[in-house]
Amino acid sequence: MLYYLRLMTLFLIDSLFVFFAIYLSHFVLYFHVYNLSLDFPLVMSSLILLFSYYIFAYFFQLYNRAWEYASIGELTAIFKAVTLSVIVTAVSQLAIDHSIHYRRITVAWMILILLIGGSRFAWRLFRDSYIKPIGERKRTLIIGAGAAGILVARQLLKRDSELLPVAFIDDDKEKQHMRVMGIKVYGGTDCIQKAVEKLNVEHIIIAIPSLKTSELNHIYIECSKTSVKTQIMPKLEDIMLGKVSISHFRDVQVEDLLGREPVELDMKSISKTLTGKTILVTGAGGSIGSEICRQVSRFTPKKLILLGHGENSIYEIDLELRNKYQGQFEIIPVIADIQDRTRIFEVVEEHRPDVIYHAAAHKHVPLMEYNPKEAVKNNIIGTKNVAEAADQFDVKTFVMISSDKAVNPTNVMGATKRIAEMIIQNLDKTSDTKFVAVRFGNVLGSRGSVIPLFKKQIQAGGPVTVTHPDITRYFMTIPEASRLVIQAGTLARGGEIFVLDMGEPVKIVDLAKNLIRLSGYDEEDIPIKFTGLRPGEKMFEELLNENEIHKEPVFPKIFIGKTTNLYMDEVNDIINHYEMDNAELKQKLLDIANHRVSIKKAVKSSI
C-alpha cells in the first residue's frame, strides 16, 4: 500500500513539474502568460513531454529508487530520462508544427532537471538534517580516502548509521585538503592526533585493505595515542562473498598487528593429495588439529577421520564440520589415545588413510618440565605408535607437527619433539610411507599460547605477567600454519623436516602492550609485571641453526633442513626405560636431542 501511495505521489509531483517547466519556459522567453491556454502547440508539447518522461522514467527505474540515499548515480539517471524526453518532444514538435522551439525547449529541459533532481535530493537533505540529527551520531575519522574509504563513507552517510564521517586521513599528498564526497581530507597519518582534537572525533575507522602489517602497526600506534575507539573495516573478500556487510566494523585484533602477507598455495597439488582421499588427523580437537581438519575439508576428501583423546573437543569439531559440509564427504569421529598402540593400529587398519596429519602432542613447556614421563609417553611413544601403524598399513604420507622448541632444546617438551622427529626420520629409511615433520613456532590464539592468558589477566584488571622484558617468540596465525602444513605435505619426498618461515620474532612485552591498548586501556590502567623465566624456558626460540637449513625455500615460506644425526639406540633405550627419576630422565632426553652422545652410535639423516 505504501509503495503505491509513494508511486502516485511521485507521478503527481512529476506531472506538475513537467507542465510548470513548459509554461515557465514560455513565460521567461515571451513574457505573456495570459493567453497560454490557447497555445495549441504548447499544450501538445506538454503532453508529449509528460508521457515520454513517464516512459523513460520507467526505463531508468526512477520510481524504484530509494531517494533518501540519492547520489551521482541517481542524478545521472534523471539527466538521461529528462534529456531523452526532451529530444522526443522536439522531434514531435517538428512533425506536428514543422518547427522546433529550440530556446523554449532548452529552458524547459534545464528547469525540469532542476525541479526533478532538486526534489529528490531535497528529500535526502531533509533525511540527513532532521530525521537523524547529527548530534546523535558519533563523529568519525576515516583513515584512507581510497575506494574502500569512500565505500565506508557512503555507508556511514546512511540514516541508520550511528557514525558520522567528518574527515578523511590519507598519506597521498594530492588528496590532502581536498574534499571527497563533501568530506575533507584533513592530512596524513601524522595528523591523526591533531584531527581528533580539532574535530572532536569520537570514533576512528581504518579503511585501507592493502595495508601491510608494519603500516597498520604505525597507524594503530598513532590512533592509540588519542584514546578514541579504533576499528577496522571487514576484509573485502568477506564483503564480496556476502559473509559481512561493509558496516560490520570490527576491533583491531592482535592477529592484524602480527600477521604476514598471505602465501598463494599450490591448490592443484593440494587437491591431488586430498580430494577424494581418506585423511586422518590426530589431535583433531586441538587448535592446530581442528584447523587442519577445516582446511582439509575445503578439498572434499572421501573420508575425514577426527581422532582425539578429549571427547568434548572432538564433538565440537565433528559438529562444526557436519553442519558445514553435510553429505559432501564422510566424517568419522574417533575417540582414541595415541599411547594405546592396539587401538591406534585398529583405527588405521580399519580406515586405511592415504594421509595422516599427526598433531596430537603435549605442548605446554612448564607442565612437561614437571611431568617428563607423560611427555615421553605421549610425544615419543605416541608418535611411534601412529608412525608404525602408518608404515604397516601403507599410508602414503605421514606429516608430523613439530615445534621450534625442538631446536637446541632446553626443556622436556622440545627434547621429546626432536626425538619424535628422529623416530619418523629413521622409519622413513625402510618404509614406503613418506614420513616428514613440519616445524613452526607459536600460533596466535591457540589454547597454550600466551594471548588467551593475557586477555584473561586484562579482563581481571591486571597485572599482565611477562617472564622477561627481552624474551622473544615467533608467531603465526593458526590458519596460516595449518595451510602451510598441508602444503608441506604435498612437497614430501620422505625424511624431510620442513621449517616454516615465521617472519621476525616478536618481543612478548610488546605483544602485551598491544593487547592492553587493543582492550581500550593503557599501562597505567593495566600494569605489566615481570616474573622471571620459568623452568625450561628460553629467552628466544630457533627454527634451525644457520648451518642446518638450506637457504633457498622449496616453496614460499617453507624451507628444508640439512643432514643431522639420529641416535636410535639411545632413543629406544629411553622408550624402554623411561620409568626413572625425573631429573635423570630430563637429562637423558636433553642429551639425545642436543646430540651429546657418542657419534659412533649415530646414523645420518636429512632434516
Higher pLDDT, 221 or 262: 221
Q: Residue 394 pLDDT more than 90?
A: yes
Residues forming CATH 3.40.50.720 domain(s) in the chain: 135-252, 267-442+475-502+542-606
**Separation between Cα atoms, residue 82 and residue 110, nearest integer Å:** 9
pLDDT at 600 over 50: no
Q: Which residues are catalytic?
A: 405
Cα–Cα distance between 415 and 48 in angstroms, integer?
90
Q: What sign has the CA pseudo-torsion 82, 85, 89, 91?
A: positive
| DSSP string covering 140-209 | EEEE--SHHHHHHHHHHTSTT-SEEEEEEE-S-TTTTT-EETTEEEEE-GGGHHHHHHHTT--EEEE--T
The residue assigned the cell 601412529 is 386
Predicted confidence (pLDDT) at residue 605 exceeds the cutoff of 60: no
Mean pLDDT of 71-77: 70
Specify the DSSP class assigned to residue 39.
-
Confidence at residue 285, expressed as pLDDT on a 0 to 100 scale: 94
For residue range 82-130, what is the model confidence (pLDDT) as tens digits? 888 888 888 887 777 666 766 777 777 888 888 777 777 676 666 555 5
Burial of 202 (0-12, 13-18, 19+ CB in 10 A): middle
User: What confidence score (pLDDT) does residue 337 get?
Assistant: 97
The predicted-structure confidence for 144-176, as pLDDT tens digits, reads as follows 988 888 888 888 876 567 888 999 999 988 888
Q: Write out the CATH class of domain 135-252.
A: alpha beta
Weakest-pLDDT range from 49-53, 201-205, 252-256, 589-593? 252-256
pLDDT at position 68: 53
Who has greater pLDDT, 591 or 559? 591
pLDDT, tens digit, 9 for 90 and up, residues 280-295: 999 999 989 999 999 9
Domain covering 267-442+475-502+542-606: architecture: 3-Layer(aba) Sandwich (3.40)
Q: Tell me, what's the pLDDT at 542?
A: 65
Encode 293-307: b = buried (16+ Cβ within 10 Å), e = exposed.
Answer: bbbbbbbebebbbbb
What DSSP character marks residue 549? B
Which range in 15-19, 430-434, 473-477 is most confidently predicted, on average pLDDT? Answer: 430-434
Q: pLDDT value at position 225? A: 82
Q: What is the pLDDT of residues 303-343, one digit of tens each?
A: 999 999 999 999 999 999 999 998 899 999 999 999 999 99
Whole-angstrom distance, CA of residue 589 vs CA of residue 607: 19
